[in-house]
Structure 1
Amino acid sequence: MLACVIYYSANILFGLANRKFLISILGIEYQGVNGLFGSVLNMLSIAELGIGTAIIYHLYRPLANDNKEMVGSIMQFYKNCYRGIALVMLTVGMILSVKLDFFVTASSLPVNIHIVYYLMLADVIATYTFAYKRSILYADQKNYIVAIINTFFVVCCNIVQVGILYWTKDYYLYLSVKLGLRLLENISINIYVSKHYAYLSAKKYPKIAKDLLKDIIQKIKGLLFHKIGTFVVNGTSNILISKFLGLALVGIYSNYYYVISAINSVLQQAFDGTTGSVGNLLATEDSSKRLSIFEELNGINTLFSAIAVNMLFVLINPFIKTIFGDEFVLNHTIVILLVLNMIFTNQRRVFGVFKAASGIQYEDRYVPIAESLTNIIISVILLFKFGLAGIFVGMLVAQCCVYLYTFPILIYRNVMKKSITDYTKYLLFVFSFHIISLSSVSWVFHVFIEETIMNYAIKGCVACIQTILIFYVFWHNTDSYQHMLNRIKLIIKK
């Protein structure tokens, strides 16, 4: 976990410095291009079909049992799949390049957007061409190896890119360095895996069993819909902003998105390791124990998320203003919508852990489609009336789909054996806490604390303490409160 924290910290700090230099030296529209083409190319990840998730799931048991024959067969199957995926992504990526003008409206950039796109496409293809060997490290609980290698190359890449910006101001070279170091990063991981799992390349393994292939295909069918939904909800905002509002606004929003997604990634690290334990819980304990652990984990997640959200709410604009300048700050209404979306996203986390541990991937396959359609329709309609705010309202409304079906029906009723009424009461309790804590933090800073750089640390500390106190008021009489305290101590210790 420490290696992962170091990786995310390095990624955030060096990434912010990189963005600062890019915007200062070349301009905000270059950051807009990065954000736009990043979203467009994320569309290609749909071609991955969720195979990686399904494969890692099926590697747990044979690795635990030291069944090298089965591990070899699965990895060989995975390798062949990813070669085909890389070819499909390259083909679709080249087709999309013909219609780049659809995504980019008026732009004053003195670069060929097609060359920029091809360099970024090559970066994505390089990732998928070599990525399959990472899966065995994840399945073998050696994420820290990947984190250590990633950290080294993240630091090197950002330092070299900043140097290129400073000395040459060459955007093509800036992107080429990232591509080159990405290849070296993947080659390094492949060398490590080849050395420590030498049996993978020692011989040609038989094809995977038909029943295993059938189960993988079944999971992929469900995961495909989730891949589409994830892209539409998280990836289309930059495309819509670029198409209707301009590249410069994409660049401005991408700074906010970068900070928010970085915070969410750090929070996710605290819960990534719980899926296996929850899977064992579901297999061995009754519904009352499941509910107790769920409420305990969700309480911890709610506390950490509320602290992060409330601190972000009072600090994000001053932070952006300090790092990038006044002209790159979004208005208060937009920040409120971003924070509300963050709350909805974070409250999905523990539900997601129980969903993954339960193997629920196919049963709710149509929910992400409903989420996607809701997001696009509402975002496009409101975009013309409210501009940027309309897009984020669409994202917020779309997120409600999982709260209306997947969580109450498949998780709360089927796994925890509780009624929809109980689910509704619990959800109202959690979101009431978020609304009251966010409102009170906002009021305190609006009335009592002035907007100065010297007050940033004070604002952060006050927001944190205030959130913890309100959490205590809400939770101290619940059955899971003491369990939560013990769990938090354990997380901090680890």
Structure 2
Amino acid sequence: MDRGKKLILNTYFSLFYEILSLAYGFIVPQLVLQCYGSAVNGLVSSITHFLGFISLAECGVGAVVRSALYGPLAEKNDIMISKIVKSSNNFFKKVGLLLLGYTIVLVFVYPLTVKDSFGYVYTATLVVILSLVTFSQYYFSMTYRLLLAADQLVFVQMIVQSVTLGLNLIICFVAVKFKLSIHIYKLLTSIFFLVQPVTYACVVKYRYKIDRKIVLDEEPIKQKWNGLAQHIATVVLVSTDTMVLTLFSTLENVSIYAVYNIVVSGIKSIVTAFTNGMQALLGNMYVKKEYELLEHTFASIEWIVHTITTFSYTCCGILIVPFVMVYTRKITDISYVVPTFAILITLAQAMYSYRIPYNMMILAVGHYKQTQNSAIIEACINLILSIILVIKFGLIGVAIGTLIAMSYRTIYFALYLKHNVLKRSFSHFVKHILVDLLSALLISICTLQINITQLTYIAFFVMAIKTAFIAVVVIVLVNFILYRKEMKSGIGLLIGKR
């Protein structure tokens, strides 16, 4: 299978999974809210974010492992592939012990932070159960997932994860119908995640000639500690808002944040789905020294990400409050309508999504050590500003901190790419942002008269269709005028006609 076909399969299976995941993310928290209440929903969301450090096993060192695999996979070098797989497994075993220690500390310490709302044993046992879910999903199958991703076989993961997600959705309905405790419900979901590592192991055994007894005469994975440091900073970045709200605000505010985060994170996942497999494609071109094709392909990917991000988050900014009003219409313990926070958190996540092509290119060429400080600075900006602003502004304060932090690193990535990787002019980035702002402004003006008529999903769906239609028309016209060449090339890449 050539890399073009792999890209198409990766893109559309990823998109299917993310849509399914988005639906899951909307349905399940609403059922949890109705069945268990806002405080329990906030507690689960808070614990999940604190356990986010367990995902160190994927995005930090994982990115370095993928970069190391691009060359050996392109050269079909089974010996080097085996060495990288063995080194990766050895590293994750060590990380696993550290993460186990972190979880044990969390079990004893975290319940003290919410002791006024929940009993110690109740919270501690929930931490244990949720940690099992996280470990089964992220840790045990990590090296195999990385190998498949580096070989542009992301679609295999997407199929397996889609099946797992469907099974867990069924469990949620059963838990709500029979009024199972939150502990039993979360414990049942962890069982189905065990399907994933078993399936990945079978695929890898069938497809690759991995020598599990190979001797490592030197370290085959360079910069893995730099990758780990970057991801620690990233986890701190994405976890800061929930942690700060947990420590300096209320669990009800955590619950409000979690509901809005379902929407913006879901949109981010959809945007990311369009780029799944593209990093491996860029890495493959880079190791093969196809530099002219690489620059042309990157320009297409840059246009794709900016266009999809602008469409998605502009619609999100217009629709998020009406959606939350419908979504929480049966929740009466607190009000979930916070328009200013909604706009700020939407802008913050949009800035994060705009960085995807630049970050992807930097990771594809393996510049982890060189960009490490920027990750730390971004996390510090978000943490410091959120702590300062949350006391006076609450939810809005943490959103401001996130927006400023994410804007900083997005600009940094565009500048770094100019000076160190593709040598592309920074004006490309500036033009894209200006066109994005123009499109968003025109869409907002054209949809001013569109409002939700009643608090029902049908009424919201009608509003969403009208908004999306106007957004598509505006974006197509703007890009046809200002980005005609990139538009043709980008669409060609997505449909496999390059």
Q: Report the TM-score range of the alignment, normalised by the length of the smaller protein.
A: 0.7 to 0.9
Could you tell me how far 1:39 is from its partner in structure 2? 0.9
Distance, in Å, in 1 between the alignment partners of 2:83 and 2:291 is 33
Amino acid at match of 1:353: M
Deviations 1:46-93 (A, max 9, x none): 477822222222223333333323222222222222222211110121
Do 1:237 and 1:391's aligned partners in 2 also have CA atoms closer than 8 Å?
yes
Do 2:14 and 2:155's aligned partners in 1 also have CA atoms closer than 8 Å?
yes
Deviations 1:19-57 (A, max 9, x none): 222111111222212211111111244477822222222
What residue is the counterpart of 1:170 in the other structure? 181
Distance, in Å, in 2 between the alignment partners of 1:455 and 1:165 is 26
What residue is the counterpart of 1:206 in the other structure? 215
Amino acid at match of 1:250: V
**Is 1:131 equivalent to 2:133 in the alignment?**
no
Change (3 A) 1:17 1:205: same
What residue is the counterpart of 1:77 in the other structure? 87
**Is 1:60 equivalent to 2:56 in the alignment?**
no
Distance, in Å, in 2 between the alignment partners of 1:61 and 1:280 is 7
**Is 1:107 equivalent to 2:113 in the alignment?**
no
Do 1:97 and 1:114's aligned partners in 2 also have CA atoms closer than 8 Å?
yes
Distance, in Å, in 2 between the alignment partners of 1:301 and 1:235 is 24
Distance, in Å, in 2 between the alignment partners of 1:469 and 1:165 is 42
Q: Superposition pairs for residues 90-239 of structure 1, below 5 Å?
A: 90-101=100-111, 103-104=113-114, 106-108=116-118, 112-126=122-136, 127-197=138-208, 199-200=209-210, 204-207=213-216, 209-210=217-218, 212-213=219-220, 216-217=221-222, 219-239=223-243
Do 1:72 and 1:200's aligned partners in 2 also have CA atoms closer than 8 Å?
yes
Amino acid at match of 2:33: I
**Is 1:437 equivalent to 2:439 in the alignment?**
yes
Structure 1 unaligned blocks of 5 or more = none
Do 2:57 and 2:142's aligned partners in 1 also have CA atoms closer than 8 Å?
no
Two-structure CA RMSD over aligned residues (Å): 2.8
Could you tell me how far 1:390 is from its partner in structure 2? 0.5
Change (3 A) 1:490 1:130: closer
Distance, in Å, in 1 between the alignment partners of 2:128 and 2:370 is 38
Aligned length: 479
**Is 1:308 equivalent to 2:312 in the alignment?**
yes
Higher mean alpha-carbon deviation, 245-254 vs 129-138, is at: 129-138
Change (3 A) 1:37 1:358: same
Could you tell me how far 1:163 is from its partner in structure 2? 0.2
| Aligned with 2:348 (options 329, 335, 341) | 341
Do 1:35 and 1:250's aligned partners in 2 also have CA atoms closer than 8 Å?
yes
Amino acid at match of 1:6: F
Distance, in Å, in 2 between the alignment partners of 1:193 and 1:223 is 24
What residue is the counterpart of 2:5 in the other structure? none
Do 1:241 and 1:250's aligned partners in 2 also have CA atoms closer than 8 Å?
yes
Amino acid at match of 1:29: A
Do 1:303 and 1:468's aligned partners in 2 also have CA atoms closer than 8 Å?
no
Distance, in Å, in 2 between the alignment partners of 1:328 and 1:231 is 29
Higher mean alpha-carbon deviation, 30-39 vs 469-478, is at: 469-478
Structure 2 residue matching 1:378: 3-state secondary structure: helix
**Is 1:254 equivalent to 2:265 in the alignment?**
no
Deviations 1:168-198 (A, max 9, x none): 331111111122112233223323333444x
Change (3 A) 1:142 1:225: same
Structure 1 residue matching 2:274: 3-state secondary structure: helix
Do 1:105 and 1:247's aligned partners in 2 also have CA atoms closer than 8 Å?
no
Amino acid at match of 2:405: A
Q: Superposition pairs for residues 462-481 of structure 1, below 5 Å?
A: 462-471=466-475, 474-478=478-482, 480-481=483-484
Deviations 1:133-162 (A, max 9, x none): 222222232222221111111111121132
Distance, in Å, in 2 between the alignment partners of 1:94 and 1:110 is 14
Identity %: 20
Deviations 1:397-422 (A, max 9, x none): 112332454421x211333435xxx5
**Is 1:317 equivalent to 2:321 in the alignment?**
yes
Could you tell me how far 1:386 is from its partner in structure 2? 0.9
Change (3 A) 1:62 1:448: closer
Distance, in Å, in 2 between the alignment partners of 1:121 and 1:337 is 31
Do 1:90 and 1:125's aligned partners in 2 also have CA atoms closer than 8 Å?
no
Change (3 A) 1:30 1:110: farther
What residue is the counterpart of 2:22 in the other structure? 12
**Is 1:369 equivalent to 2:371 in the alignment?**
no
**Is 1:394 equivalent to 2:394 in the alignment?**
no
What residue is the counterpart of 2:490 in the other structure? 487
What residue is the counterpart of 1:285 in the other structure? 291
Structure 1 residue matching 2:366: 3-state secondary structure: coil
Distance, in Å, in 2 between the alignment partners of 1:431 and 1:133 is 37
What residue is the counterpart of 1:245 in the other structure? 249
Structure 2 unaligned blocks of 5 or more = 1-9
Distance, in Å, in 1 between the alignment partners of 2:471 and 2:260 is 22
Do 2:347 and 2:403's aligned partners in 1 also have CA atoms closer than 8 Å?
yes
Change (3 A) 1:153 1:296: closer
Do 1:344 and 1:399's aligned partners in 2 also have CA atoms closer than 8 Å?
yes
Change (3 A) 1:248 1:448: closer
Do 1:14 and 1:158's aligned partners in 2 also have CA atoms closer than 8 Å?
yes
Could you tell me how far 1:306 is from its partner in structure 2? 1.1
Could you tell me how far 1:251 is from its partner in structure 2? 1.9
What residue is the counterpart of 2:61 in the other structure? 51
Structure 2 residue matching 1:121: 3-state secondary structure: helix
Structure 1 residue matching 2:275: 3-state secondary structure: helix
What TM-score comes out, normalization by structure 1 length? 0.88
What TM-score comes out, normalization by structure 2 length? 0.87
What residue is the counterpart of 1:33 in the other structure? 43
Could you tell me how far 1:427 is from its partner in structure 2? 4.2
Structure 2 residue matching 1:116: 3-state secondary structure: helix
Do 2:69 and 2:147's aligned partners in 1 also have CA atoms closer than 8 Å?
yes
Structure 1 residue matching 2:232: 3-state secondary structure: helix
Distance, in Å, in 1 between the alignment partners of 2:446 and 2:225 is 49
Amino acid at match of 1:79: N
Distance, in Å, in 1 between the alignment partners of 2:435 and 2:459 is 26
